[in-house]
Homo-oligomer: A and B are copies of this chain.
């Protein structure tokens, strides 16, 4: 249950956690993170319970779960073993959208005046640990609103002094000072249900070089279309057209440094270099293999 929930809209208010639970926007009535290490986090609640949280409207610095006593003081270190924190790492590694609910509290102008409000989809842009205000290790997740998510109307009683963060990596090129180009999108890799299926079959192991990139909290791979989507290529968005690759082999496939033979030989720089690893559940579409190879004239 990732992404938008039927019959709810961004900005919708809920008088309490029970109502948000019934609507399906945040299913647990207690925890702040809904999700598992295996599947990722489907939703979080930002309600002022962690004093290290920071809220800039379209960017939220969200403190992970754990280590608090009943008075909301941090009394021990947080870890990535906590299932809620591990779920947010999985969301980062797979680029999954996370529903954000904000709850009323006095410290933020972006919190609702009362109750809870669904504020749309965010993604985990980065994360890391530091010593928190109370002197214990906390994990923090930088949550960024997905494109098109509207800012809520600021609440007057909230902290008005804090300005939205400027992320210098996110400055759109089109609006920069004349003659200067400092920020450009270099590579955008998107996940989809089709890609996630292929990645799961291969357990994030590259079908070309066999590398499985392990990171704290999970593993990482990318779904790569052979016959590219969109004009002028117009390939199909099917599992037969998608390979599970490490980022390096993905770059080489997309730029024609690697093509495949009809017998699934990997041809790298024009030279045969092993064979694509396959899985019985994952039938490769040979039309797509040929289309990709023909695109690079090999």
List residues of A whose CB falls within 8 A of some B CB.
1-8, 10, 54, 56, 59, 61, 89, 92-97, 120-121, 123, 125-126, 128-130, 137, 140, 142, 146-149, 165, 167-170, 172-176, 178-194, 211, 213-217, 220, 222, 228-233, 237, 246-248, 250-252, 254-257, 269, 294-297
Contacts and interface: CB of A to CB of B under 8 A. Distances in A.
B192 A228 contact: no
Contacts of A174: 4, 10, 97, 120-121, 146-149
A220 B193 CA distance: 28
Nearest to A63: B232
A126 B296 contact: no
Nearest to A24: B179
Contacts of A257: 213-216
A145 to B, nearest CB: 9
Contacts of A231: 54, 56, 59, 61, 142, 165
A185 B123 contact: yes
A179 B42 CA distance: 11
Contacts of A216: 255-257, 296
Given A192-B169, A211-B248, A220-B255, A142 B230 contact: yes
A169 B5 contact: no
Contacts of A149: 174
Nearest to A3: B181
B121 A173 contact: yes
A279 to B, nearest CB: 21
Given A229-B167, A232-B140, A175 B148 contact: yes
Contact of A248 (B5, B188, B247): B247
Nearest to A179: B6
Contacts of A297: 129, 137
A6 B295 CA distance: 38
B229 A178 contact: no
22 contacts: A3-B176, A56-B231, A59-B230, A61-B232, A95-B185, A97-B173, A128-B233, A128-B296, A129-B295, A142-B230, A147-B174, A169-B230, A182-B194, A186-B191, A187-B247, A213-B251, A213-B252, A213-B257, A215-B255, A220-B251, A247-B247, A247-B248
A42 to B, nearest CB: 10
A154 B52 CA distance: 51
Contacts of A92: 255
B147 A229 contact: no
